[in-house]
Chains A and B, each alone.
Chain A
Amino acid sequence: MSKVKNWHLQREIEYPYDESRPKKQWAIVFDLNKCIACQTCTLACKTTWTSGKGQEYMFWNNVETKPWGGYPLAWDLRILEKLGRQAWSEKGEYQGKTIIEAAPETERVLHWAPTDDDWMYPNVGEDDCGGGTQDGGGHIPNTPHDKWFFYLPRTCAHCTYPACLAACPRKAIYKREEDGIVLIDQSRCKGYGECVRACPYKKSMYNPYTRTSEKCIGCYPAVEQGVQPQCVVNCIGKIRVMGFINPPWKAREDNPVDYLVHKKQIALPYYPQLGLEPNIYYIPPVHADRAYLRQMFGPLVDGAIQRYKELPRDPVAHGLLCLIGSTDRIMHRFDVKRGIAAGFDEKGEEIVRVPVTEPVVERAAFDPKYNAIRNNTP
């Protein structure tokens, strides 16, 4: 075992391979306050990548209703239960064990193994906490808490320390040096399913037709051309942005992802205590139960929510939020000047420009030129 630095946990962790950070690290930031679970991301991914035989049940991107929904069934509760209660310091240093550190001596990763039954329900519990009854098609008779829920869109997190990669005895999984995307070599995989067992987020999936395991590929063919993944560019709520994240010691304030994660510290990794340094980051929902959010995002969640609430008074942050969803290109840099937010590609060329505040034009209700009544219907 090697000792590697995990900045999510503010300490070194054990991992089977040495620390080897990619030149760039693929990352997505999701604003959970904006997701409406329309599943457009899910379908964009599905129609692009998983329409073939053996992929019928696969959702490399899915959106589930928290706290009760999960795909596969209760994926998070089951690994948390296995790991048991662990401790954080208030400042965010993790004092517990990761799923690799907690692995039995015969295993590489603490895990549970999903079967058909677990994958059968893409989102059982959907919206149940909104007041659905069993008579009305809901599944949960009574929740032991006040009614609150939020939607959690998920892709592969292209972890810095992937459990799938650690667990593969054939070394058929690799992390790309150029963008940090984690891929299963489809010519080498033998379908042992070790990655399916090991990934705590359950984002490796077995294809029973090809008899190999598959996973989210981060839309690398698009990323290689400077374009964001399908799930991001098709998000009608404009809740997510894909870019490249730096570790905190290399963070750049003008990098959109670094700005949200490091500078403003409003976006957090989910279940960081599992120890994989996952690279999808969430702006936590402001209204959901805090104890639950602390379990999911760690002890820094309260501060993140507080800072998020202050964003409207920050013109730079406001500008960046306007840029999100305004371009299908990958923004490597952004700036906000004189009420205009602009995004730039890797070469520094401007790819998008939006006003931070949309200009408002008041027009008379009647247009004499066309002899027509104007109204606000689109």
Chain B
Amino acid sequence: MDRRRIVPFALGAVLLAACSNKKPPTTTEEKIEPLKELSAKKVSVDLATPDPGAAYWQDVPAGAATLAAQPMITPRPSISFTEKLIIQAIHDGTRVAFRLRWKDTEKSEAGHLGEYSDAAALQFPVKDGPPPLVMMGQKDGPVHIFHWRAQYQRDEEKGKPDMKDLYPNASVDMYPLEFKEAKALNANASETEKFSPGVAEGNPQSYVKKGVDEIIAEGFSTSSVQKGHGSAAKGEWKDGTWTLVVSRPLAIEGGSTLRPGAKGNVAFAVWQGGKGEVGSRKCVTMFWTPVSIL
């Protein structure tokens, strides 16, 4: 957001509050118009490396989407922890990038038992024509989801945490086939991985993440992580607000394709890990938002 616009507004709001004794708006974001449609204009910057703080976002129009606690299946949040999501979109001819901003009082990256990560997701229909159900699609109406987690971003930046990273003060004698004696017959990685069931089973969840997961779903309970198509994401948490950019190729074979000059659809979800949100405990947009690639 343009700081030059913030200052006069904030001053005005304070003066107004002093006169009317009403609580002033705290940010300019409350002035942003409700999101009805997204238009992604073409820009001449490389969107392969998402940058939520880049100056070029200042000139991109923003809309405010309304989110509500996921209402369709249990378990679900009893209240809507995230009610507003500010959204912008641009494309560079081969990739489209979405910038999302939402309030979250604490940064949560998960790691320990009972902790969950902040996260956000963008969802697109896979097939052309009328979009499927907005709640994760339906049978024969698949959706393509780009799921960013703060936890996955930490993986990308610092590598997947080992137990010593998560619990630096923990004392462990030894792990199977990992001996402290240098001369011992230490096992190789594939042998020690057999003692970690998720890793041994090849569960994508158990491997190092690259910030964003690509998922295909045909309704609740069906989501399945796919091989990525070069999508990328970068989130920054500052002063109680997440700013996240998710960038994806426009055309994805076997997945969602957005075409210049045509309209597609997109839907959004946000998880506040610190509030225990994970899986179906999330806040979502209740309708598809049309998105035009200009």
Interface residues of A (CB under 8 A from B): 51-54, 56-57, 103-108, 113-116, 118-119, 167, 169-171, 186-194, 196, 206-212, 214
Contacts and interface: CB of A to CB of B under 8 A. Distances in A.
A211 B119 CA distance: 15
Given A56-B163, A167-B75, A189-B198, A211 B176 contact: no
A191 B279 CA distance: 9
B279 A170 contact: yes
B201 A186 contact: yes
A188 B75 contact: no
Interface centre among B115, B195, B202 (most CB of A within 10 A): B195
Interface string B257-282: 00000000000000000001011100
Q: What are the nearest 4 A-B pairs in CB distance?
A: A210-B198, A52-B195, A115-B114, A192-B279
Given A115-B114, A208-B166, A212-B203, A104 B78 contact: yes
Contacts of B112: 115-116, 208
Contacts of B73: 169
A108 B75 contact: yes
B195 to A, nearest CB: 3
B190 to A, nearest CB: 14
A118 B163 CA distance: 18
A107 B75 contact: yes
Contact of B114 (A54, A108, A114): A114
A184 to B, nearest CB: 9
A208 B74 contact: no
A104 to B, nearest CB: 7
Contacts of B198: 186-187, 189, 207, 210-212
B66 interface: no
B19 interface: no
Contacts of A167: 75
B115 A115 contact: yes
Contacts of B115: 115
A194 B279 contact: yes
Given A53-B163, A191-B205, A208-B111, 17 more contacts: A52-B176, A53-B175, A54-B163, A54-B196, A106-B74, A106-B77, A115-B114, A116-B112, A119-B113, A167-B75, A169-B220, A187-B198, A187-B201, A192-B278, A196-B113, A207-B196, A212-B197
B78 A56 contact: no
Contact of B205 (A115, A118, A196, A212): A212
A245 to B, nearest CB: 27
A114 to B, nearest CB: 6
A53 B194 CA distance: 11
A206 B195 contact: no
A196 B116 CA distance: 13
Nearest to B163: A53
Interface of B: 73-78, 111-116, 162-163, 166, 170, 172, 175-176, 192, 195-203, 205-206, 220-221, 223, 276, 278-280
Nearest to B75: A107
B195 A190 contact: no
A115 B78 contact: no
Q: Chain A's interface: helix, strand, loop or mixed, by majority?
A: loop
Contacts of B202: 187
20 contacts: A51-B175, A52-B197, A53-B163, A56-B172, A107-B74, A114-B113, A115-B115, A116-B113, A167-B75, A169-B280, A190-B205, A192-B278, A193-B116, A208-B111, A208-B113, A208-B166, A210-B198, A210-B203, A212-B203, A212-B206
Contact of A210 (B176, B199, B220): B199
Contacts of A187: 198, 201-203
A208 B113 CA distance: 7
B113 A186 contact: no
A115 B112 CA distance: 8
Contacts of B199: 210
Nearest to B174: A51
B170 A56 contact: yes
B197 A116 contact: no
Contact of B206 (A192, A206, A211): A211
Interface centre among B115, B197, B203, B223 (most CB of A within 10 A): B197
A186 B279 CA distance: 17
Contacts of B280: 169, 192
Nearest to B74: A108
B195 A53 contact: yes
A190 B152 CA distance: 13
B113 A209 contact: no
Nearest to B202: A187
A189 B172 contact: no
Contact of B276 (A54, A113, A206): A113
A206 B113 CA distance: 6
A290 B104 CA distance: 50
Given A114-B113, A115-B113, A116-B114, A106 B75 contact: yes
B114 A206 contact: yes
B197 A170 contact: no
Contacts of A54: 163, 196
B12 to A, nearest CB: 40
A171 B219 CA distance: 12
B160 to A, nearest CB: 9
Contacts of A208: 111-113, 163, 166
A119 B162 CA distance: 19
Nearest to A52: B195
Contacts of B196: 52-54, 207, 209-210
A107 B73 CA distance: 9
A232 B126 CA distance: 51
Contacts of A191: 205
Contacts of B221: 169-171
Contacts of A57: 113
A189 B220 CA distance: 14
B203 A188 contact: yes
A206 B163 CA distance: 13
A206 B278 CA distance: 14
Contacts of A188: 203
